[in-house]
Amino acid sequence: TNEEIIGRAEIDDLEAILAIELLAAGQGLDVHLPLTTSQRLLVPHRTLRAHVATWDKDRFFAPDIEAARRLVAEGAVIKDSLDILPGLETS
């Protein structure tokens, strides 16, 4: 139905927004090295970096955004964060 198509498009848009936020957060941690964050926050950061390299030079970002979007869609980062986000459930 039309509602399903619109709903899927909205979910896709939200996944893309969350992916860009994830990339920005990961880059923020990277540019502040040697400072570090908590061990609990390093877990999702490691998951991100296993799929997307740090931005240390200009490059085409669409593949990075898509890789991060897949992590969001698959719930990988949420699974990494369940212990620090009480009440968050995955389906």
90 falls in which pLDDT band (50, 70, 90)? Answer: low
pLDDT tens across 53-89, in order?
999 999 999 999 999 999 999 988 877 777 776 666 6
pTM assigned to the model: 0.82
Give the CB-side neighbour count of residue 9, counting CA atoms within 13 A.
6
3-state secondary structure 19-38: HHHHHHHHHHHHHCCCCCCC
> What is the predicted pLDDT for the residue at 60?
94
Any idea where the domains of the chain sit in the sequence? 2-81
> What is the predicted pLDDT for the residue at 21?
95
Average pLDDT over the chain, rounded to whole?
A: 88
> What is the predicted pLDDT for the residue at 91?
52
H and E: helices and strands count for the chain? 4, 0
